[in-house]
């Protein structure tokens, strides 16, 4: 499948460029500036985008253009730092701006191939201290602002384009149009659709597995559930999906996952390990220790089940994981995802797996997985579920995890999520959760004094979970949730709402 390669210079928006291209039905991957262009042939590149970045092109540690980029003859779009670097390398002049620009800026004038079909006011999102002062030979200026005379450049003969602002962010409302115009200058085929993704993954998995068997751990989240359904369709009884119920899921969640996947024909084994996990967590309050215990118990149970399945059905050669593209990028330290060759180990799996690891979703973002889930017919309740941590409610139950405390937290969580759906807010929220704190407070229940639990509610908006802002819910919604919780859960007499963004806080409390 052909692609557009995004060269990552450390911008906070690099991943967003890739996401925008995929919205335009184009496959895109992120690579490091240290990667030789010749090494990217397997992705059949049809063009390159140079991202922004925090450094000055004159810094001693400033990253350079990838070797072979200019010699490739393919179209190039350079953004922010990428524009400055490209201009400098081609003989232009870059220097510190007298007036730095950060935030929304209106273009005074614009034109050229990249702005074809654009008219009216053009608001752009700027974030730069340096700027191009003199274009390289063969380039002409296509946009200006009050403080930046050269806000865009292009050399139409070589199909090289440059923007000082960020077209990939929503704060540049017409930016997607510019990205689409750049794609029109390439030979890229816009075939990145859920149907084509499913077909490609199916063909690749069948070619790899052939007559072999695949083991898959189902967590109940959208990624593993969707992968289970896709592999079931591709491999039928060659897939062995295992769902370990550790007793730390939301109210009714385990049964919902089991019933949905079995109804869709997935070869699923469910293991009831609730008592085992709760026993292993007895007396433990430290969040990191909880995570390690849960991870250890899960792996032991999973491998025990794998041994049982192999004794009954024969050797299982492959282990499937629902690793996503953001996981791959992060494992590479933010650079070079397109050239990663090392093992990407997530979930605490041991190095000596005894299986060949396959990760069919390693090139996908979560929203793309959800689109695949839709095309495969996964129920909405599973497809649209908010991200949920592997250790489950254990890390939302601050302090010791007990059956009684989990029961309180499940009821609170269920009321919160139900109200979000009732008010039409669930699908507008990236993640929502309830936290049972170890704090108790004085209250009045009826005519009596109470001394009961304090629970915290948290909801955030985000693109990929790397940064997040707290959700601004209407006051009447928050009042409704609070009233229902204290009226329905007698063990709780106080509800607070977390209004901290990430950073400085994390999304989860532990």
Residue 393 maps to a domain: no
Quote the number of domains for the chain.
3
Regarding whether 464 and 421 lie in a shared domain, the answer is yes
SS3 77: strand
Q: Is 171 a catalytic residue?
A: no
SS3 4: strand
Q: What is the dihedral of CA 161, 162, 168, 173, to 10 degrees?
A: -90
Regarding whether 255 and 319 lie in a shared domain, the answer is yes
Residue 392 maps to a domain: no
Q: Is the pTM of this model over 0.75?
A: yes
Regarding whether 102 and 43 lie in a shared domain, the answer is yes
Regarding whether 204 and 180 lie in a shared domain, the answer is no
Residue 510 maps to a domain: no
Give me the tens of pLDDT residue by residue for the chain, a chain 510 residues long: 899 999 999 988 898 899 899 999 999 999 999 999 999 999 999 999 999 998 888 888 899 999 999 999 999 999 999 999 999 999 999 887 666 667 789 999 999 999 999 999 999 998 767 889 999 999 999 999 988 899 999 999 999 999 999 999 888 999 999 999 999 999 999 999 999 999 999 999 999 999 999 999 998 889 999 999 999 999 999 999 999 999 999 999 999 999 999 999 999 999 999 999 999 999 999 999 999 999 899 989 988 999 999 999 999 999 998 888 877 766 554 443 343 222 333 445 556 667 899 999 998 988 899 999 999 999 988 888 898 888 999 999 999 999 999 999 999 999 999 999 999 999 999 999 999 999 999 887 766 778 889 999 999 998 666 678 999 999 999 999 999 999 999 999 999 999 999 988 989 998
Please tell me the distance from the alpha carbon of residue 510 to that of residue 500, in angstroms, as a whole number. 14
Half-sphere exposure of 138 (CA within 13 A, CB side): 12
Annotated catalytic residue, options 166, 180, 297, 305 = 166
DSSP label at residue 397: B
DSSP label at residue 142: E
The reported pLDDT for the residue numbered 335 is 42
Residue 175 maps to a domain: yes
Which CATH number fits the domain that encloses residue 86? 3.40.50.880
Last residue of a domain, one of 184, 205, 220: 184
Regarding whether 260 and 367 lie in a shared domain, the answer is yes
SS3 348: coil
The reported pLDDT for the residue numbered 433 is 97
Burial degree of 172 (CB within 10 A; 0-12, 13-18, 19+)? buried
| String of DSSP letters for 93-133 | EEEEEEEEEEEEEE-SEE-SGGGTT--S--EEEEEEEEEEE
The reported pLDDT for the residue numbered 347 is 45
Q: Is 166 a catalytic residue?
A: yes
Annotated catalytic residue, options 101, 168, 180, 317 = 168
For the chain, the distance separating the N- and C-terminal CA atoms, rounded to the nearest angstrom, is 41
Regarding whether 174 and 65 lie in a shared domain, the answer is yes
Residue 502 maps to a domain: no
140-144 and 109-110 strand pairing: antiparallel
Last residue of a domain, one of 161, 184, 207: 184
The reported pLDDT for the residue numbered 367 is 86
Regarding whether 234 and 266 lie in a shared domain, the answer is yes
318-320 and 356-358 strand pairing: parallel
Which CATH number fits the domain that encloses residue 335? 3.40.50.620
Whether 222 and 386 have beta carbons less than 8 Å apart is answered as: no
> 109: which strand partners?
144
Distance of CA 211 to the CA centre of its chain: 33
Residue 249 maps to a domain: yes
Please tell me the distance from the alpha carbon of residue 326 to that of residue 359, in angstroms, as a whole number. 13
Regarding whether 29 and 128 lie in a shared domain, the answer is yes
Regarding whether 430 and 355 lie in a shared domain, the answer is no
Regarding whether 369 and 227 lie in a shared domain, the answer is yes
Whether 463 and 168 have beta carbons less than 8 Å apart is answered as: no
Residue 116 maps to a domain: yes
Please tell me the distance from the alpha carbon of residue 191 to that of residue 3, in angstroms, as a whole number. 10
The reported pLDDT for the residue numbered 331 is 57
The shares of helix, strand and coil residues in the chain, as percent rounded to the nearest 5, are 35, 25, 40
Residue 482 maps to a domain: yes
Regarding whether 218 and 163 lie in a shared domain, the answer is no
Residue 133: φ, ψ to 5°: -100, -30
Regarding whether 276 and 178 lie in a shared domain, the answer is no
The reported pLDDT for the residue numbered 99 is 62
Distances (CA, A) of 381 to 225, 253, 356, 366, 416: 11, 10, 32, 16, 16
Q: Is 386 a catalytic residue?
A: no
Which CATH number fits the domain that encloses residue 489? 3.30.300.10
Whether 55 and 81 have beta carbons less than 8 Å apart is answered as: yes
Give the domain range for residue 285. 194-383
């Amino acid at each position: 499948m052909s692609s557009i390669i995004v060269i990552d210079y450390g911008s906070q928006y690099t991943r967003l460029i890739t996401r925008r291209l995929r919205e335009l039905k184009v496959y895109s991957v992120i690579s490091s500036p240290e990667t030789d262009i010749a090494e990217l042939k397997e992705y059949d590149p049809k063009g390159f985008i140079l991202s922004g970045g925090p450094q000055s092109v004159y810094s001693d540690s400033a990253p350079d253009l990838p070797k072979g980029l200019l010699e490739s003859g393919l179209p190039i779009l350079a953004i922010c730092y990428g524009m400055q670097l490209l201009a400098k390398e081609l003989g232009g002049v870059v220097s510190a701006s007298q007036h730095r620009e950060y935030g929304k800026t209106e273009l005074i004038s614009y034109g050229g191939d990249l702005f074809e079909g654009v008219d009216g006011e053009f608001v752009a999102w700027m974030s730069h201290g340096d700027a191009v002062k003199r274009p390289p030979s063969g380039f002409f200026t296509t946009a200006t602002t009050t403080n930046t005379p050269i806000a865009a450049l292009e050399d139409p003969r070589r199909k090289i384009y440059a923007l000082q602002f960020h077209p990939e962010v929503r704060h540049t409302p017409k930016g997607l149009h510019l990205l689409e115009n750049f794609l029109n200058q390439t030979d890229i085929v816009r075939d990145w659709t859920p149907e084509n993704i499913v077909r490609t993954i199916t063909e690749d998995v069948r070619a790899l597995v052939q007559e072999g068997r695949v083991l898959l751990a189902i967590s109940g989240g959208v990624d593993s559930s969707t992968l289970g359904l896709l592999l079931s369709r591709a491999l039928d009884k060659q897939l062995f999906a295992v769902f370990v119920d550790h007793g730390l899921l939301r109210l009714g969640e385990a049964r919902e996952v089991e019933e949905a996947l079995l109804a869709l024909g997935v070869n699923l084994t469910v293991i009831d390990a609730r008592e085992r996990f709760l026993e292993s967590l007895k007396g433990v309050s430290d969040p990191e220790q909880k995570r390690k215990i849960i991870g250890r118990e899960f792996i032991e149970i999973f491998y025990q089940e794998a041994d049982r399945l192999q004794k009954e059905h024969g050797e299982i050669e492959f282990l499937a994981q629902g690793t996503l593209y953001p996981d791959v990028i992060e494992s590479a330290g933010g650079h070079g995802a397109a050239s990663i060759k090392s093992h990407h180990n997530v979930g605490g799996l041991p190095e000596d797996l005894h299986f060949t690891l396959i990760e069919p979703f390693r090139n996908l973002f979560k929203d793309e997985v959800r689109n695949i889930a839709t095309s495969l017919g996964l129920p909405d309740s599973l497809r649209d579920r908010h991200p949920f941590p592997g250790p489950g409610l254990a890390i939302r139950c601050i302090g010791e995890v007990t059956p009684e405390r989990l029961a309180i937290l499940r009821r609170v969580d269920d009321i919160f999520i139900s109200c979000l759906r009732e008010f039409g807010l669930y699908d507008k929220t990236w993640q929502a959760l309830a936290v049972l704190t170890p704090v108790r407070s004085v209250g009045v229940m009826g005519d009596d004094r109470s001394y009961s639990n304090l629970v915290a509610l948290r909801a955030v908006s985000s693109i990929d979970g790397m940064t997040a802002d707290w959700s601004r819910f209407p006051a009447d919604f928050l009042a409704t949730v609070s009233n229902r919780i204290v009226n329905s859960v007698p063990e709780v007499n106080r509800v607070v709402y977390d209004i901290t963004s990430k950073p400085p806080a994390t999304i989860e409390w532990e």
